[in-house]
Amino acid sequence: MANTRSEEQQLWARALNQDGRAFGELYDLHAPRVFRHAARLCGNNADADEVVATAFFELWRRQSSVRLVDGSILPWLLVVTTNVARNQKRAARRYRAMLDELAAGGLERAQGEPIHETNERVLDALARLNPVEAGLIVLTVVEGFSVREAALAVGLSEGSARVRLHRTRRKLRGDLAAVRADQHSDIDAMEVPR
* Of 121, 59, 100, 128, nearest in space to 67 by CA: 59
Spell out the residues 6+ positions from residue 113 whose beta carbon is closer than 8 angstroms to its own. Answer: 43, 44, 46
Q: Has residue 76 got a pLDDT over 80? A: yes
pLDDT of residue 140: 84
The pLDDT tens digits for 13-39 are: 999 999 999 999 999 999 999 999 999
pLDDT of residue 95: 61
- pTM comes to 0.60
- CB-based contact 25:11 (threshold 8 Å): yes
The pLDDT tens digits for 77-136 are: 999 999 999 888 887 776 666 545 544 543 333 334 344 455 566 677 777 888 899 888
The listed CATH number (2.60.40.10, 1.10.10.10, 1.10.1740.10, 3.10.620.30) that belongs to domain 1-114: 1.10.1740.10
Residue extents of the structural domains in the chain: 1-114, 116-194
- CB-based contact 12:26 (threshold 8 Å): yes
The pLDDT tens digits for 137-178 are: 888 877 778 899 899 999 999 999 999 998 888 887 777 665
CATH topology of domain 116-194: Arc Repressor Mutant, subunit A (1.10.10)
- CB-based contact 82:135 (threshold 8 Å): yes
Q: Has residue 194 got a pLDDT over 80? A: no
pLDDT of residue 178: 54
With 0-12 / 13-18 / 19 or more C-beta atoms within 10 angstroms meaning exposed / middle / buried, residue 100 is: exposed
